[in-house]
Amino acid sequence: MILSVHAIFGASVASLVPNHPIMAFSLGFLGHFALDAIPHKDYELISVDSNSNSTEKKIIIDSLYKKFRFIRDVVLVSFDALMGSFLAFLFFFNPIHPWIFLIGAIGSLIPDFLTFLYLIIKHKPLILFFDFHSSIIHSKRILKLSQPAGVFLQFCTVGVIIAIILGVKWFLSL
């Protein structure tokens, strides 16, 4: 899933436990894996060496052209994360617990940050995490959609999940 979807989802589950920041972070973090298990279409990172198998993927920045591709990916990923955090703020900001939405959003974004970090540096704990995230958790079924349709479907999916979460929140408040 794209980072915006993860951030919004993380904020939504954090809103269920506004008095418990560790639980909010944990729900966002674990929810990331649940979302990634759903078949979807992500945008491509053009700086990733796509000729390698999953565990050998890496970002190569050994030429000016490849540095430009890397900068483009960093800008895209940063915009995606910031847009998701902004939308999470709009939908789930709580003046009584003003940071809880951000704690959940950050928890939900951390796994993809660690994956991106793995693509740059191949440190042992990151390799283990990447293998777990990409090979075990992440859906192997990639939907054959255009990139805009894939993003739209991800927002629809998270919209349904958030509606369920808000329904649970409403039910618990009765």
φ/ψ of 47, rounded to 5, equals -90, -5
Q: Coil, strand or helix: which one is 48?
A: strand
Cα-Cα-Cα-Cα dihedral of 149, 50, 61, 70, to 10°?
10
pTM: 0.86
Quote the pLDDT of residue 52: 53
Cα–Cα separations (whole angstroms), residue 143 to 65, 77, 139, 174? 30, 21, 10, 39
Q: Tell me the per-residue pLDDT of 53-97, one tens digit each, with 9 for 90 and over.
A: 555 666 767 778 788 888 988 899 999 999 999 999 999 998 999
Cα-Cα-Cα-Cα dihedral of 111, 85, 7, 15, to 10°? 120
CB 150 within 8 A of CB 40: yes
Domain segments of the chain: what residues?
3-45+81-173
For the chain (length 174 residues), average pLDDT per consecutive 10? 94 94 97 92 77 61 80 91 93 92 96 88 84 86 85 90 87 84
Find residue 142's DSSP bridge partners. 40
C-alpha to C-alpha distance for 162 and 35, rounded to whole angstroms = 12
Q: Would you tell me how many other CB atoms lie within 10 Å of the CB of residue 27? A: 24
